[in-house]
Amino acid sequence: MGKTLFDSPSFANHEGVHAVFDEKTGLRGIIAVHSTARGPAVGGTRMWNYASSAEALEDVLRLSKGMSYKNAVADLEMGGGKSVIIGDSRTQKSPELFQAFGRAVDTLGGRYYAAEDVGVSVADIAEARKVTPYVLGLNDGPEASGDPSPVTAEGVFRSTLTVARRLWKQDDLTGLTVALQGIGHVGGYLADKLHAAGAKLVMTDVNEALLSEVAARTNAEIVAPDVIYDVKADIYAPCALGATLNPQTLDRLSAKAVVGAANNQLATPDIGQMLFERGVLYAPDYVVNGGGIINVASELNARNTGGAYDPAWVEAKLSRLMETLEEILERAAAEKRPTHQIADAIAEARINAARDQKAEQLKAA
Ligand code: NAD
């Protein structure tokens, strides 16, 4: 904490970091454009009660870089960005605040597109849309991509099948136990798919009403939130919070594979190395959960071409992403390296190639 921008450990050659402020509505936020090499920077807006602006800066720097990697590995013509609004999303929201935020996004002229993230709803983004075209994740109009969760869940499910084929040489999940943490938007759809494919489910959530409903229809065993790490399972599926793979949980997990929707599952990159050394196959989070951003990308395409949301295009991109996951797992095995390093290398190579090509084009122009 207390670090300035350039000596922050999370600063990673970001193209632009913009403080946004509006006195009338109390807007205080930061928009970080990590890279526009592959296209406009796209990434959600998070509203969070950060303890300090330094904490908000760290978060937006880290998250915006993550979006560059996620978008590149999904082979989308989009760069990476993210924004944060400092405040309590339960008490400090107003339509005017999101319109002020929309005006701030608009000043970037399309270098950054905002969308929903933690604490920000479709209704909030719709307020911003009144003043700028540079937002995505809307609910109405032909281009609207709607709730991305079913597509995210489908990607997590197919990733689980890929892992089962590699580790257990089977095409379905019969006889395998999945420890599912979080059965919200993504986890709920995922539970149904895992159950239909023959998996035995052990699940947890802090929402007990939802938990008993989903467990009943998927024949699942219920455990308390903290017990999920101790469950004897073949696969651990984190679908709630980030950083659940950390030094405390690692010793408790018995699963041979980790495949889940949560963002930023590794508390620190060295946890990826530790999982590798323990022989646990970690399917990199931002590859596994890329279905959601692919869904959003279809809205951007439709916007640019005057067309409509295209489920066939989404399916083609998701299939390609699943091939990329296979490549990552294959390369990691061949090179005896952790999977997250291979995923990062693929993303970095794509971003750097696009950046160099752009620089050449500018020189030639
Ligand atoms: P959600 O809020 O709908 O679901 C999260 C669930 O986790 C909720 O049911 C909540 O009660 C539960 N939960 C919270 N704390 C918990 C705890 N300590 N133990 C167990 N359960 C707990 O969110 P979602 O949209 O389903 O997303 C789940 C994860 O996937 C998040 O990390 C999100 O960032 C990530 N993700 C989501 C999408 C998407 O399309 N929705 C896309 C990419 C990544």
Residue 27 lies in a domain: yes
Residue 197 lies in a domain: yes
Question: Rounded to the nearest whole angstrom, what is the distance from the C-alpha of residue 190 to the centroid of ligand 1?
Answer: 12
Residue 216 lies in a domain: yes
Atom of ligand 1 nearest to the CA of 289: 43
Looking at the structure, do residues 215 and 98 belong to the same domain, yes or no? no
Residue 277, Cβ neighbours under 10 Å: how many? 9
CATH label of the domain that carries residue 12: 3.40.50.10860
Q: How far is 271 from 268, CA to CA, in rounded Å?
A: 6
Residue 260 lies in a domain: yes
The preferred substitution site among 45, 122, 186 for testing ligand 1, maximizing ligand atoms within 8 Å of CB, is 186
Question: Rounded to the nearest whole angstrom, what is the distance from the C-alpha of residue 124 to the centroid of ligand 1?
Answer: 19
Q: DSSP assignment of 75-135, as one string?
A: T-S-EEEEEEEES-TTTS--HHHHHHHHHHHHHTTTSEEB-B-TT--HHHHHHHHTT-S-B
Question: Rounded to the nearest whole angstrom, what is the distance from the C-alpha of residue 261 to the centroid of ligand 1?
Answer: 8
Looking at the structure, do residues 31 and 159 belong to the same domain, yes or no? no
CA distances from 275 to 20, 280, 330, 364 (A): 40, 5, 17, 46
Task: Look at ligand 1, atom 4, and give the residue with the nearest C-alpha.
Answer: 184
Is the minimum distance from the CB of 296 to ligand 1 under 6 angstroms?
Answer: no
Q: Per the annotation, where are the binding residues for NAD(+)?
A: 182-187
Question: Rounded to the nearest whole angstrom, what is the distance from the C-alpha of residue 3 to the centroid of ligand 1?
Answer: 30
Looking at the structure, do residues 194 and 263 belong to the same domain, yes or no? yes
Q: Are 47 and 84 in contact (CB under 8 A)?
A: yes
CATH label of the domain that carries residue 239: 3.40.50.720
Q: Are 31 and 100 in contact (CB under 8 A)?
A: no
Full-model pTM: 0.95
Give me the pLDDT at residue 4, please.
82
Known catalytic residue at 82: yes
Looking at the structure, do residues 113 and 174 belong to the same domain, yes or no? no
Looking at the structure, do residues 85 and 31 belong to the same domain, yes or no? yes
Residue 277 lies in a domain: yes
Residue 325 lies in a domain: no
Is the minimum distance from the CB of 244 to ligand 1 under 6 angstroms?
Answer: no
Give me the pLDDT at residue 2, please.
56
Task: Look at ligand 1, atom 30, and give the residue with the nearest C-alpha.
Answer: 262
Give me the pLDDT at residue 3, please.
67
Question: Rounded to the nearest whole angstrom, what is the distance from the C-alpha of residue 185 to the centroid of ligand 1?
Answer: 7
User: Over the Cα atoms of the chain, what is R_g?
Assistant: 20
Looking at the structure, do residues 180 and 123 belong to the same domain, yes or no? no
Is the minimum distance from the CB of 149 to ligand 1 under 6 angstroms?
Answer: yes
Looking at the structure, do residues 116 and 203 belong to the same domain, yes or no? no
Is the minimum distance from the CB of 256 to ligand 1 under 6 angstroms?
Answer: no
Q: Looking at 254, 289, 324, which one is the last position of a domain?
A: 289
Is the minimum distance from the CB of 191 to ligand 1 under 6 angstroms?
Answer: no
Give me the phi and psi of 132, to 5 degrees please: -150, 145
Question: Rounded to the nearest whole angstrom, what is the distance from the C-alpha of residue 191 to the centroid of ligand 1?
Answer: 13
Rounded (5°) CA angle 152-157-158:
100
Q: 82, 193, 200, 317: which is the annotated catalytic residue?
A: 82
Task: Look at ligand 1, atom 9, and give the residue with the nearest C-alpha.
Answer: 184
Looking at the structure, do residues 231 and 107 belong to the same domain, yes or no? no
Atom of ligand 1 nearest to the CA of 183: 9
Looking at the structure, do residues 162 and 111 belong to the same domain, yes or no? no
Task: Look at ligand 1, atom 20, and give the residue with the nearest C-alpha.
Answer: 205
Residue 341 lies in a domain: no
Q: Per the annotation, where are the binding residues?
A: 182-187
User: Smallest Cα–Cα separation from 98: which of 34, 47, 32?
Assistant: 47
pLDDT truncated to tens, each residue of the chain (365 aa)? 456 899 888 999 999 999 999 999 999 999 999 999 999 999 999 999 999 999 999 999 999 999 999 999 999 999 999 999 999 999 999 999 999 999 999 999 999 999 999 899 999 999 999 999 999 999 889 999 989 999 999 999 999 999 999 999 999 999 999 999 999 999 999 999 999 999 999 999 999 999 999 999 999 999 999 999 999 999 999 999 899 999 999 999 999 999 999 999 999 999 999 999 999 999 999 999 999 999 999 999 999 999 999 999 999 999 999 999 999 999 999 999 999 999 999 999 999 999 999 999 999 98
Task: Look at ligand 1, atom 31, and give the residue with the nearest C-alpha.
Answer: 262
Tokens of 318: 């998701």
For the chain, what is the domain count? Answer: 2
Residue 269 structural domain? 149-289
Is the minimum distance from the CB of 187 to ligand 1 under 6 angstroms?
Answer: yes
Task: Look at ligand 1, atom 35, and give the residue with the nearest C-alpha.
Answer: 262
Residue 226 lies in a domain: yes
8, HSE (Cβ side, Cα atoms, 13 Å): 22
Q: Looking at 268, 289, 310, which one is the last position of a domain?
A: 289
Rounded (5°) CA angle 203-207-211:
40
Q: Looking at 235, 261, 289, which one is the last position of a domain?
A: 289
Is the minimum distance from the CB of 155 to ligand 1 under 6 angstroms?
Answer: no
Looking at the structure, do residues 125 and 162 belong to the same domain, yes or no? no
Looking at the structure, do residues 88 and 154 belong to the same domain, yes or no? no
Looking at the structure, do residues 156 and 222 belong to the same domain, yes or no? yes
